[in-house]
Amino acid sequence: MSESRHISAWINRSATDVYRYASDPARLPEWAAGLAEGELTRVGDTWVAQSPMGQITIEFTPANDLGVLDHVITMPSGEPVFNPLRVVPAGDDWSEVFTLRRRPGMSGAEFDADAARVAADLKTLKRVLENRPRGDGRCLGPATPRWRLWRQRAPQAQRWS
């Protein structure tokens, strides 16, 4: 049976800041200890990292202006794991939402532990971003991302359709 769990963190930063920071693979070790333990190495279109699970490869979705940060992790066993990750608008705030999927053969305790690691990583991302100076050039993204245009056209809307 398939099971998913949505894990989120409200981040008091612009969606552009959140997206640009979280989409930079070189920054993963700063906030995603559950995924990357040290420097990542780029190999073609993928990244290689040491993780608590062993050596993994990570392939990220291409840069976009929709807040999509999906990535596929290839486990040391060779198993690919798809990880949906989004920067989601909610009123004047922004939420980073990770969808954790229970893999075949994963026990309930392992799934809970994985969820706790993801929650800790998102909490770290929140802390790191909220402690950065506003306007820090390392967090700047496109001048007018599509989600900002969407909210200007439909300010009463609170979710994507």
pLDDT digits (tens, 9 = 90+) for 59-75: 999 998 888 999 999 99
Q: Residue 52's pLDDT is what?
A: 81
Confidence of residue 33 (pLDDT cuts 50, 70, 90): confident
For residue 109, the cross-strand partners are none
Residue 132 has pLDDT above 90, yes or no: no
Q: What pLDDT score was predicted for residue 134? A: 65
Which residues on adjacent β-strands are paired with residue 88? 95
Task: Give tens-digit pLDDT for 45-57.
Answer: 899 988 888 899 9
Handedness of CA 18, 100, 6, 45 (dihedral sign): positive
Q: Where are the alpha helices (DSSP H) in the chain?
A: 15-22, 28-31, 108-130, 146-153
Q: What is the pLDDT of residues 15-27, one digit of tens each?
A: 888 888 999 988 9
pLDDT of residue 93: 66
**Domain 4-148 CATH superfamily:** START domain (3.30.530.20)
Residues 107, 87: Cα–Cα separation, whole Å: 29
pLDDT at site 153: 40
Confidence of residue 123 (pLDDT cuts 50, 70, 90): very high
| pLDDT attached to residue 68 | 92
DSSP 36: -
Amino acid letter, residue 115: A
> What pLDDT, on the 0 to 100 scale, is given for residue 74?
93
Written as one letter, the residue type at 33 is: A
pTM above 0.85, yes or no: no
Residue appearing with tokens 């040290």: 38
Residue bearing the bigger pLDDT, 14 or 133: 14
Residue 142's pLDDT band, with cuts at 50, 70 and 90, is very low
Is pLDDT of 157 > 70?
Answer: no
Q: Cα dist. 84→42, 69, 75, 153 in Å?
A: 21, 7, 16, 26
Percentages helix, strand, coil for the chain, rounded to the nearest 5? 30, 30, 40
In the block, residue with structure tokens 């705030």: 93
